[in-house]
């Protein structure tokens, strides 16, 4: 008989071999053993409705039968080749057909890589150095991205604050930081600095939506000042709509990055732009001085491409996004109704396809304003949800296509218990 281990035993083992006892992604106090559809189970066998969904990629749920069939068809043909393969070409064609800014794409293995290369590509194309990003914006783990993501101290804009040790001062000096949803601040910076290569922005910053006209305002400012606009659509791509945030909001960037959903749960990401911009990956066209070197062992591997292709095919079917938004809307309403009834100040922040609650009566429009009046209330709320079988991040809820009425009923009961737990009365 195979020996089984409890979750606490696995945690103890992890603490011996992993820094801080984890992979660095999610809290190490829970180990997920398996997932099926809308549910996951931890190593003790406790079952949860999954609103983390792997931090976004499992939009169809775990083990979708059509995706599994596509993967199992590919596996005996080969897992990776470090060479072009037809599945990768087909996936590139599908992305180009769906995403407005993409005439060509280049594959990588993670969203952080895609963002890193997008920044480098903007510098190669423009010949300029500085990058403008927004306080609180997440763009992976590169040195440029680790600027003012979650600064421990507040400084005056546009000063960048490194979020990690080991980042050179020279990188800090090339970054400009602005508050999200503030066009006047961006306009002032672009008027002052004439060597900005690009603005990189999450169209929905974490869960903070753009103010009406904000993304178009960024587009107009970039055009005026000859600056490239990069949309980080690692999260929003194929989630907000089939064509991503650029389709949803009707604003086309110069470069975009995609990840999570396009790999169908496997490691794969991409960056895309016009053929003119993307030619910097072609040494034969731009020459050695302007060539952007990029390679990766698993970039465009056929297993991930097969999973991504089938995922995209399913998402393109009639009614898919209507269903996803209906699920998200119901999750928003059930929480807001319960909190209103209890007299608890709150804001539902985000899009129906990704959102969460801030326990505050203040508008949440940027990193500094999107905060809980009492963080312990949020911690307690999420702890009770977890106890009652709802698995989510403390700061974001991802609806999925797999959520059923039974899941919504369970979630409703968990929300009622969580609201009761934080109700001061």
- Helices 375-387 and 405-422 cross at an angle (nearest 10°) of 140
Tell me if residue 232 is catalytic.
yes
Q: How far apart are CA 315 and CA 133, in angstroms?
A: 31
Tell me if residue 330 is catalytic.
no
Catalytic residue among 50, 115, 182, 232: 232
Per DSSP bridges, beta strands 269-273 and 347-351 are unpaired
Phi, psi of 122, deg, nearest 5: -60, -40
* DSSP letter, residue 256: E
Nearest by Cα to 418 from 390, 397, 395, 398: 390
- The residues facing 208 across adjacent strands are 205
Strand, coil or helix: what is 106? strand
Tell me if residue 260 is catalytic.
yes
The CA-CA-CA angle for residues 28, 32, 38, to 5°, reads 130
Catalytic residue among 117, 125, 138, 367: 138
Catalytic residue among 87, 130, 133, 260: 260
Residues marked active site are found at 138, 232, 260
């Amino acid at each position: 008989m195979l020996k089984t281990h409890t979750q606490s035993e696995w945690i103890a083992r992890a603490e011996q071999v992993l820094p801080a006892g984890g992979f660095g992604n999610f809290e190490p106090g829970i180990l997920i053993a398996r997932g099926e559809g809308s549910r996951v189970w931890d190593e003790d066998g406790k079952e949860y409705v999954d609103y983390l969904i792997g931090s976004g990629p499992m939009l169809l749920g775990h083990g979708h039968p059509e995706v599994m069939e596509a993967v199992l068809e590919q596996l005996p043909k080969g897992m990776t080749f470090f060479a072009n393969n037809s599945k990768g070409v087909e996936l590139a064609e599908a992305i180009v057909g769906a995403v407005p800014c993409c005439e060509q794409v280049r594959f990588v293995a993670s969203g952080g890589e895609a963002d890193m290369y997008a920044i480098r590509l903007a510098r190669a194309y423009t010949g300029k150095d500085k990058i403008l990003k927004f306080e609180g914006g997440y763009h992976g783990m590169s040195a440029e991205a680790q600027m003012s993501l979650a600064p421990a101290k507040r400084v005056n804009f546009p000063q960048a604050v490194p979020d990690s040790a080991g980042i050179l001062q020279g990188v800090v000096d090339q970054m400009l930081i602005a508050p999200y949803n503030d066009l006047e601040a961006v306009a002032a910076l672009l008027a002052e600095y004439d060597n900005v290569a690009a603005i990189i922005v999450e169209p929905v910053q974490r869960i903070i939506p753009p103010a009406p006209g904000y993304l178009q305002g960024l587009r107009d400012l970039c055009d005026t000042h000859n600056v490239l606009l990069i949309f980080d659509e690692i999260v929003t791509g194929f989630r907000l709509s089939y064509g991503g945030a650029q389709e949803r909001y009707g604003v086309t960037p110069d470069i975009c990055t995609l990840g999570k959903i396009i790999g169908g749960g496997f490691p794969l990401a991409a960056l895309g732009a016009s053929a003119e911009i993307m030619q910097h990956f072609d040494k034969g066209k731009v020459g050695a001085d302007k060539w952007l070197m990029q390679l990766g062992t698993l970039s465009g591997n056929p297993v991930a491409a097969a999973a991504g292709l089938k995922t995209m095919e399913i998402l393109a079917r009639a009614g898919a996004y209507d269903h996803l938004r209906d699920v998200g809307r119901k999750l928003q309403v059930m929480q807001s109704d319960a909190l209103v009834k209890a007299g608890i100040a709150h804001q539902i922040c985000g899009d129906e396809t990704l959102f969460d609650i801030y326990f505050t009566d203040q508008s949440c429009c940027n990193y500094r304003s999107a905060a809980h009046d009492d963080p312990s209330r949020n911690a307690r709320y999420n702890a009770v949800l977890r106890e009652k079988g709802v698995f989510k991040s403390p700061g974001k809820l991802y609806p999925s296509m797999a959520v059923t009425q039974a899941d919504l009923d369970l979630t409703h009961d968990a929300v009622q218990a969580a609201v009761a737990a934080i109700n001061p009365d």
